[in-house]
Amino acid sequence: MVKEKKKMTSEVITDNAMEIIIFTLKDPKTKRSEIYGVDVKQIQEIRNVEKITRLPKAPAFVKGIMNLRGQIITIIDIKQKLDFNESDIENQNPCILISKINDQTLGFLIDDVDEVIRIDGKDIDQNTLENSNSASYLQGFVKTKDRLIILLDLEKLILNTKINSEDIK
């Protein structure tokens, strides 16, 4: 039996409920469009894109670096990590999900945040992950009335990816 907690608003939330940030990644060249989500616990903040400085010889998915209130952070093009075409920040209005992973603050470039929704852990389908090559960074799938949401684990998405100073020399 699942224990329930009551919030001050008298809204009942189960222990395995989570809030996820929903965003859509679009590829205008191929017309590909997919809906993704990440647990809000992995995100510190959502920011508009400011000046991104490109780095010579950086991996293709590293868009560059950005000054975040005096701290230099690496910006990851999440589209390229997920095999989309490169993000076009000049012709769109993308935003950045700021996350702290292994004591490193990173920014994940996405097209736009659609919404934040609450789901129950039992609504996450993990059965389809068993034979998937991408299973390491997928938490599962959530089916809603009109869409299928792919849940990402940002830490696992970059876990085996080097993005330190050795990679950009």
Residue 88: CATH number of its domain? 2.40.50.180
CB-based contact 77:84 (threshold 8 Å): no
User: Is this prediction's pTM over 0.75?
Assistant: yes
User: Cα separations (Å) of 168 from 64, 73, 138, 161?
Assistant: 10, 13, 27, 13
Closest C-alpha to 141, from 14, 36, 68: 36
pLDDT of residue 135: 67
Q: Which residue, chain included where needed, has tokens 């809204």?
A: 11
Owning domain of residue 119: 4-168
Q: Which residues are registered as beta bridge partners of 110?
A: 95
pLDDT of residue 1: 39
3-state secondary structure of 92: coil
pLDDT of residue 128: 64
Amino acid present at 135: A
pLDDT of residue 165: 40
pLDDT of residue 71: 94
Q: Domains in the chain: how many in total? A: 1
pLDDT in tens, the chain (169 residues): 333 433 333 344 446 789 999 998 888 788 888 999 999 999 999 999 989 999 999 998 999 999 999 999 999 999 888 888 777 666 577 899 999 998 899 999 998 899 999 988 888 887 665 555 656 788 888 988 888 999 999 998 888 565 544 443 3
127: Cβ–Cβ under 8 A, 6 or more apart, which residues?
Answer: none
How far is 19 from 41, CA to CA, in rounded Å? 8
pLDDT of residue 8: 33
